């Protein structure tokens, strides 16, 4: 026979399970951009310093702190509310890559991360591609 205490316990356990499931749905595999091409024009070839400038401008326009570290390497950091994402951006005059480096408060578990991170990286990639298209 069911009593009120058992029903309450069941409802609490069911609610806790649902919350855990919803929290788990907010993560996704880390999105990296690997060897995205820098489109060249026969009339106006693009050099590495121009790629660097485009990446720095693109990231800064989206609120990223972009710090050149060595030739062909930029570290990008985004701080939003209580979250922090850090990426490595490797580039040449032929291609660029954006890869996960570190994060804070984004539920990174070695494979998955808060799905908002992937949106930030996709927006950064899109902004870089736009900046590269505008190189004269």
pLDDT digits (tens, 9 = 90+) for 79-125: 999 999 999 999 999 999 999 999 999 999 999 999 999 999 999 99
Q: What does the mean pLDDT of the chain come to?
A: 88
User: Angle formed by the axes of helices 115-133 and 48-61, to 10°?
Assistant: 130
Domain ranges for the chain: 29-133
pLDDT bracket for residue 20 (50, 70, 90): very low
Instruction: Specify the range with the lowest mean pLDDT, choosing from 7-21, 27-41, 61-75, 103-117.
Output: 7-21
What H or E segment, with its residue span, contains residue 12?
A: helix 4-24
**Which value, to the nearest 10 degrees, does the dihedral of the CA atoms of residues 4, 10, 15, 20 take?**
160
d(CA 18, CA 69): 44
Q: In the prediction, which pLDDT does 40 show?
A: 84
Q: What angle do CA 93, 33, 24 make, to 5 degrees?
A: 165
CATH number of 29-133: 3.30.310
Answer with the residue of higher pLDDT: 65 or 1.
65
d(CA 90, CA 126): 16
What H or E segment, with its residue span, contains residue 123?
A: helix 115-133
pLDDT bracket for residue 16 (50, 70, 90): low
């Amino acid at each position: 026979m069911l009593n009120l205490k058992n029903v309450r316990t069941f409802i609490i356990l069911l609610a806790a399970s649902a919350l855990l499931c919803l929290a788990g749905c907010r993560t996704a595999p880390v999105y990296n951009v690997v060897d995205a091409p820098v489109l060249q024009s026969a009339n106006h070839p693009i050099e590495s310093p121009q790629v660097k400038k485009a990446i720095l401008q693109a990231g800064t326009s989206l609120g990223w702190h972009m710090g050149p570290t060595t030739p062909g390497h930029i570290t990008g950091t985004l701080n939003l509310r209580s979250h922090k994402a850090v990426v490595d951006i490797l580039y040449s005059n032929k291609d660029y890559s954006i890869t996960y480096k570190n994060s804070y408060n984004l539920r990174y578990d070695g494979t998955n991360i808060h799905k908002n991170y992937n949106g930030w990286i996709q927006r950064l990639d899109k902004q870089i591609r736009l900046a590269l298209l505008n190189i004269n």
